[in-house]
Amino acid sequence: MTDEIIASAGEYVAGLMSKDENEAFERLMVTDPEVRRAVADWRARLLPLDEAAPPIEPSAELWAGIERAIGAAPAAPAAPASTGLVGRAKAFWADVRALRIAALAGVAAAFVLAAVLLVRPLGPPAGPVVVAVLNAPNTQTAGAIVEAFADGRIRVVPLTPIPVPEGRTLQVWTLWDRAVGPRSIGLMTSARGQDYRTSGLPAPVADQLYEITLEPAGGSPTGRPTGPILFVGRGATPL
């Protein structure tokens, strides 16, 4: 995972992207599992802050001060180059230290790889066969990512806190055939990533609909969505 992916995922989760950047990044999430993992990592880090801190609207004066501080930040002065024998000696030992650190890191990585291979042999990655970005209805506000796997697993990763009133619960649904109607994937007990094991559902396909609704505690009493749709989207096949 590159630094650029990590930084872009942080900007996305923090809501710092423009509308066009946001839409382009969501298209990238559908096709790139590393991007989805980066978004999920940022979401997990920031969720405790989202839940603990009350919303505060920054004043115009505060924004102006931040912009002035960013614009006035001086560049760090370049360190003077060492010259002569002393400088060359320092550079030599710095290179030696760097090589020793790299060697130690390589040994550690080899031990980790050996341990992983003992537990899980090499094989093709079992990535999702369908990915859906769920948006709030009639908006481009992404609320969750759904990853559907060939073995029946479904992973739902919220991208934003989802308030749940007392006595209500979140329920995840899918629809692949209107003649059959929507089927429940399961309940969400919190706005955190959740894995589901499904049975009796056909293999996921592109354009399959997924949605999250707000239902009575314990789930829909009818086996069909009864509450408001919070987030909805259609699946796409990762490249």
Residues 220 and 170 in one domain: yes
Residues 180 and 225 in one domain: yes
pLDDT tens-digit series, residues 77-120: 555 544 555 555 455 545 545 545 454 445 444 444 444 445 44
Residues 117 and 139 in one domain: no
Give the three-class secondary structure for 44: helix
Residues 111 and 139 in one domain: no
Residue 65 within a domain:
no
Residue 162 within a domain:
yes
CA 75-78-79 angle, to 5 degrees, is 140
Residue 75 within a domain:
no
CA dist., res. 170 & res. 149, Å (int): 21
Which has the higher per-residue pLDDT, 33 or 59?
Answer: 33
Residues 216 and 193 in one domain: yes
**Helix (H), strand (E) counts: the chain:** 5, 8
Residues 93 and 158 in one domain: no
Residues 194 and 104 in one domain: no
Residue 59 within a domain:
no
Residues 114 and 188 in one domain: no
Residues 136 and 194 in one domain: yes
Residues 119 and 146 in one domain: no
Residue 79 within a domain:
no
CA dist., res. 45 & res. 39, Å (int): 10
Position 113 scores a pLDDT of: 46
Residue 68 within a domain:
no
* pTM of the full structure: 0.54
Residues 107 and 140 in one domain: no
The tokens describing 120, both together, are: 């899980």
Residue 7 within a domain:
yes
Tally of domains in the chain: 3
Instruction: State the average pLDDT for the chain.
Output: 75
Mean pLDDT of 160-168: 88
Q: Has residue 173 got a pLDDT over 80?
A: yes
pLDDT tens-digit series, residues 199-232: 888 999 999 999 999 999 999 999 999 999 999 9
Task: Find the domain containing 109 and state its range.
Answer: 85-123
CA dist., res. 15 & res. 52, Å (int): 18
Residue 66 within a domain:
no
Residues 149 and 217 in one domain: yes
pLDDT tens-digit series, residues 119-145: 444 444 568 999 999 999 988 788 899
